[in-house]
């Protein structure tokens, strides 16, 4: 039997030029890159810095909530994803050494390290024509 050491997945919404390259490997941490396709040159262009992904789906949910809503308490995060505040607090403590979250400006609140640069990877706002708004 064989297994891939690394895998690359190109994600993009049909009819749009922007997407994300998601890289997973046994040799390095998971990574994602924002890309844009040029139909004139038939090439993909890197749009921005590397975007980090959490090591588990549960941690990724927390990260996405923090990126969407900004600074939140564990209780507020738990309300968004249907987990207990204690569970969220434990996961945040594990996510901090991974460099994904940091403590917020208020006591007991957390925020994403990449809150300013997240918009380019996994979510885009498009109008009915598929153009970016």
Q: What is the pLDDT of residues 38-69, one digit of tens each?
A: 889 999 888 765 556 666 788 888 988 988 88
Q: What is the pLDDT of residue 52?
A: 61
Q: What is the pLDDT of residues 84-133, one digit of tens each?
A: 999 999 999 988 877 788 888 889 999 887 663 444 444 444 444 445 44
Q: Which helix (DSSP H) or strand (DSSP E) does residue 43 occupy?
A: strand 43-46
The more confident residue out of 26 and 85 is 85
pTM reported for the whole predicted model = 0.51
Measured from the Cβ of residue 68, the count of other Cβ atoms closer than 10 Å reads 13
How confident is the model at residue 51, as a pLDDT?
57
């Amino acid at each position: 039997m064989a297994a891939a050491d690394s895998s690359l997945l190109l994600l993009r919404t049909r009819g749009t030029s922007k997407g994300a390259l998601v890289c997973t490997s046994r040799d390095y941490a998971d990574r994602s890159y924002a890309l844009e396709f040029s139909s004139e040159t038939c090439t993909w262009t890197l749009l921005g810095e590397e975007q980090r992904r959490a090591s588990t789906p549960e941690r990724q949910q927390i990260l996405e909530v923090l990126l969407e809503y900004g600074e939140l308490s564990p209780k507020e995060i738990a309300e968004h994803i249907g987990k207990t505040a204690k569970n969220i607090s434990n996961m945040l403590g594990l996510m901090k050494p991974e460099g994904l979250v940091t403590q917020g400006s208020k006591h007991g609140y957390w925020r994403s390290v990449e809150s300013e640069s997240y918009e380019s990877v996994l979510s885009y706002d498009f109008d009915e024509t598929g153009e970016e708004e």
